[in-house]
Amino acid sequence: MRYVPIFLLSLFMMFGAKDAQSSNNNYRLEFAGEFIRGLVEAHQSEDAARRDIDGIKKDAEYMQKLMSSIIRNGTRTKMRLQVRLNRLEKIKINDKKFDILVPTVTDLYSRKLALYEEIVRAAQTIIAGPRPDVDYGKLAAHLPEITAQLEFLDETIFKVVPMVGMLLISPKPDSKGHLSHFSITRNEAQQLISAIESGFGKSLDEEDQNWNTSSASVLRTYLRDKGFKFSDDKWE
């Protein structure tokens, strides 16, 4: 058995405990960061697709160009969703009150991914030209149904936002028994707020917001305006 000097053992215990505590709380910040990045990417993908489609000249090749745009933007969105799914699935939430968060959000993202795959396949079928075995009327009618399903999933994600906010609250009560602090520092909270504001810009202040922007707006309000202190603020 090797001899370990007592002072080295003490250092290991001191820093090891600190690292463990940091690791135990890190999943809260990690999940919130990935959740916000998912919202920002969805918003940016929607904006890019809208600009792309609005820029298509309505001439004889309009339908061909429109389907190409749908394929391009749909594929881009699929890739981003897959990356986000992979990152979220690696996060382990060490709090039983919130252990449903990761499977809930990843399930919603998986369903969105499947719907974008349907959109891309439909556009590919249309752009390929007439085929006797394809009901193009039925195919065209299905696209608005997919859009409605995507909106429903975004609404469901919006309903998850309060739980994401609660995840960031420290389970450690103050001297009055209240949960008054976030589990993240002021600087970490500001980084999350900045990511929301830089990703969504002026759309956060618009009255008529879609579900995605509303999710970001509510989360920003939770971080900025609810009156919680931060983990590096004074505890009373």
In angstroms, rounded to a whole number, what is the distance separating the alpha carbons of residues 142 and 122? 9
In a domain, 231, yes or no: no
In a domain, 17, yes or no: no
In angstroms, how far is CA 90 from the centroid of its own chain? 14
Query: What total of structural domains would you count in the chain?
Result: 1
User: Rounded to 5 degrees, what are φ and ψ at 169?
Assistant: -80, 135
Find the helix or strand (DSSP H, E) in which 132 lies.
none
Looking at residue 18, what is its pLDDT?
41
Looking at residue 14, what is its pLDDT?
42
In angstroms, rounded to a whole number, what is the distance separating the alpha carbons of residues 227 and 222? 9
User: Are 84 and 30 in contact, with CB atoms under 8 Å apart?
Assistant: no
Task: Residue count of the chain, please give it.
Answer: 236
Question: What pTM value is reported for the model?
Answer: 0.84
Looking at residue 19, what is its pLDDT?
41
Looking at residue 25, what is its pLDDT?
60
In a domain, 230, yes or no: no
In a domain, 6, yes or no: no
User: Rounded to 5 degrees, what are φ and ψ at 91?
Assistant: -85, 130
Tokens of 151: 């909106």
Find the helix or strand (DSSP H, E) in which 166 lies.
helix 136-167
In angstroms, rounded to a whole number, what is the distance separating the alpha carbons of residues 102 and 236? 32
In a domain, 194, yes or no: yes
Task: Spell out the per-residue pLDDT of the chain, length 236, in tens.
Answer: 444 444 444 433 444 444 434 345 689 999 999 999 999 999 999 999 999 999 999 888 888 999 999 999 999 999 999 999 999 999 999 999 999 999 999 999 999 999 999 999 999 998 888 888 888 788 888 889 999 999 999 999 999 999 999 999 999 988 888 899 999 999 999 999 999 999 999 999 999 999 999 999 999 999 999 989 999 888 87
In a domain, 14, yes or no: no
In angstroms, rounded to a whole number, what is the distance separating the alpha carbons of residues 123 and 72? 10
In a domain, 2, yes or no: no
- Structural domain range at position 30: 26-225
In a domain, 3, yes or no: no
